[in-house]
Amino acid sequence: MASNTAETIVGAVVLAAAAGFIWFAAQATQYRSTGDQYPLYARFQSISGVTPGTDVRLAGVKVGTLSAIELDPETYQAIAMVSIDSAVQIPDDADIKVTSDGLLGNSYLEITAGGSPFMMEPGDEFFLTQGSVSLINLLMKFVTQDNETAE
């Protein structure tokens, strides 16, 4: 009988530790339910480097996540849906761009707030966007431009 009591206590400790790890993970990742967010949309020529779940930041602070990416079959642009925390209001003249943490850092979406007194409503679209920039393409432009000036 003492063995069953000990096993029950050890099992309860293991379950409590698992619950603690889940709580810690939720706090560390700043988990928020999707019920307190609203959708905004943006069109990009290139959105490579980001995937659904990528951070959306404003002034370096995470304010949402990239929810979905689709291809517009008519314009061949990427349509990104971002979910913004409902406590954060975005001016309607804000822009959004794909950027990264340093040269080899992770890519994320950065919102730069504008000065408009009017705020975006759920379902609105960013009109000012900047897609991702390919480092290889930049280097190739630099190399070919350097060769042209040398001739």
20 and 41 share one domain: no
13 and 65 share one domain: no
In order of 135, 140, 144, the CA distances from 149 in angstroms are: 21, 14, 9
**pLDDT digit string, tens, across residues 98-149:** 988 776 778 899 999 988 999 999 999 999 888 776 666 667 777 776 555 5
Query: Whole domain around residue 38: which residue ranges?
Result: 34-134
For residue 148, tell me if it sits in a domain: no
123 and 105 share one domain: yes
80 and 111 share one domain: yes
**pLDDT digit string, tens, across residues 52-106:** 999 999 998 999 999 999 999 999 999 999 999 999 999 999 999 998 877 677 8
54 and 94 share one domain: yes
How many domains, in total, are found in the chain? 2
117 and 62 share one domain: yes
58 and 73 share one domain: yes
2 and 64 share one domain: no
Taking alpha carbons only, the member of 68, 56, 36, 35 closest to residue 106 is 56
Q: CB atoms < 10 A from the CB of 44, how many?
A: 21
For tokens 């008519």, name the residue: 74
